[in-house]
Amino acid sequence: MRKNSIKIAVIFGGRSAEHDVSLRSAESVFRAMSPDRYEVVPVLITREGAWYRMPPEISSFAPGVVPKETDRLLFSPDPTHRGFLQIGEGGEILSMYVDLVFPVLHGTHGEDGTLQGLLELANMPYVGCGVLASAVGMDKVLMKCAFRDNGLSVGPFFWFLRSEWEQDRDSILESMLRRPFPFFVKPANLGSSVGISRVTCMEDFEAAVSLAFSYDRKILVEDAIQGRELEVAVLGNDAPVASVAGEVIAHSNFYDYEEKYIRDTAELIIPADLEPVHNETAGKAAVTAFRAVDGSGLARVDMFLTPDGEIVVNEINTLPGFTSISMYPKLWEASGLAYDCLVDKLVVLAMERYEIKQLVRTDR
């Protein structure tokens, strides 16, 4: 390890339905970080939410690893602590200085702005979107409102809370009768297709609602959009750029959890076979979506290309799947940026964003 290497905490795992996906993404990030340039400290957040410093080895990212109780970490929101604290064997508090945090957490408590809020309080530089972009990008209702307000097309949708469903189910059912089948029922705040159902008849609606409510207190119902499913990677801070578009061809009814992570049958076509004009409009829509949520660092924007050539934006993912075979890094590879260079670039963007934030006055 060189003396001038950057010390980076890669935080992974997390109290989320996407815990396992995070393990795989973090392992890829770890592999890509050259020990000549980076000293990586893997920090595991367990499914229960406990934080542990893990050895800097690939085995730290395996599912089911039991961390050592003596490696337990705390994260202090007090900027004078500079982040991580470790409790020594005699009960003494030791600080663990890092230069930067690379959150590789998907879904709730990681991609949704909560972790980013803690990092902001600690004044710690970190990779990726800030609190606002992360939170808006996690809520499928608010993100669609932001997209729409910035001139993007989104499909018809409506949303309701569990309490409204419990108190006034009949009026929700009644408004459903006016919608065309099929439609999608989704938890507002999740990813990886967890809790999502494609509903083709009214008999299946209540089961879909129960499933979605088991993951969130807010759900949305969306009309199904006919079209090809495109994904575009965005990279940058205030002047973000788009990769080429990729296409997902799912072989089940939709691109569900099984196809994403278990059967692995979905085809990822990178780059998508598109007319140049569609590649360009997809890229422009992705950058607009990124700016609409005030993104920074990275995000993947997913959209549909309808048969009449319209782009309908589906969602933004502020911490997209990041394994070396995931769409986000593959799109950059196809655009001329290799995985390890992408990781370097994200670190530089994080430092730039941090430095710009330091210029903001906190006094009168």
Ligand X SMILES: Nc1ncnc2c1ncn2[C@@H]1O[C@H](COP(=O)(O)OP(=O)(O)O)[C@@H](O)[C@H]1O
Q: Which of 12, 75, 184, 213 binds ligand X (CB under 6 A)?
A: 184
Piece in contact with ligand X (CB under 6 A), picked from 8-16, 60-68, 247-255, 325-333: 247-255
Q: Which is nearer to ligand X, 5 or 193 (CB)?
A: 193
- Whether 10 and 43 have beta carbons less than 8 Å apart is answered as yes
Instruction: Please tell me whether residue 147 binds ligand X under the rule CB under 6 A.
Output: no
Piece in contact with ligand X (CB under 6 A), picked from 56-64, 82-90, 192-200, 206-214: 192-200
Q: Which residue has the tokens 């140049």?
A: 276
Instruction: Please tell me whether residue 293 binds ligand X under the rule CB under 6 A.
Output: no
E strands, 82-215, are 83-87, 93-97, 100-104, 157-161, 183-187, 197-199
Q: Which of 188, 302, 316, 349 binds ligand X (CB under 6 A)?
A: 302
Instruction: Please tell me whether residue 193 binds ligand X under the rule CB under 6 A.
Output: yes
- Residues 47 to 76 in contact with ligand X, rule: CB under 6 A: none
Closest CB 265 distance from ligand X, rounded Å: 13
Whole-number Å distance between alpha carbons of 193 and 263:
14
Instruction: Please tell me whether residue 255 binds ligand X under the rule CB under 6 A.
Output: yes
Q: Which of 315, 319, 320, 342 binds ligand X (CB under 6 A)?
A: 315
Q: How many CB atoms lie within 10 A of CB 226?
A: 11
Q: How many CB atoms lie within 10 A of CB 176?
A: 17
Q: Which of 40, 43, 146, 196 binds ligand X (CB under 6 A)?
A: 196
Whole-number Å distance between alpha carbons of 321 and 223:
26
**C-alpha distances in Å from residue 6, one per residue of 33, 100, 213, 250, 290:** 10, 8, 42, 40, 28
Instruction: Please tell me whether residue 28 binds ligand X under the rule CB under 6 A.
Output: no
Q: Which residue is nearest to ligand X (CB)?
A: 255
Q: Which residue has the tokens 């690379």?
A: 102
- Whether 146 and 293 have beta carbons less than 8 Å apart is answered as yes
Q: Which residue has the tokens 């920074």?
A: 296
Piece in contact with ligand X (CB under 6 A), picked from 48-56, 145-153, 187-195, 235-243: 187-195
Q: Each residue of 257-276: b (16+ CB within 10 Å) or e?
A: bebbeeeeebeeebebebee
Instruction: Please tell me whether residue 246 binds ligand X under the rule CB under 6 A.
Output: no
Closest CB 250 distance from ligand X, rounded Å: 6
Q: Provide the binding-site residues for ligand X, judged by CB under 6 A.
A: 155, 184, 186, 190-193, 196, 222, 224-225, 229, 250, 254-255, 302, 314-315
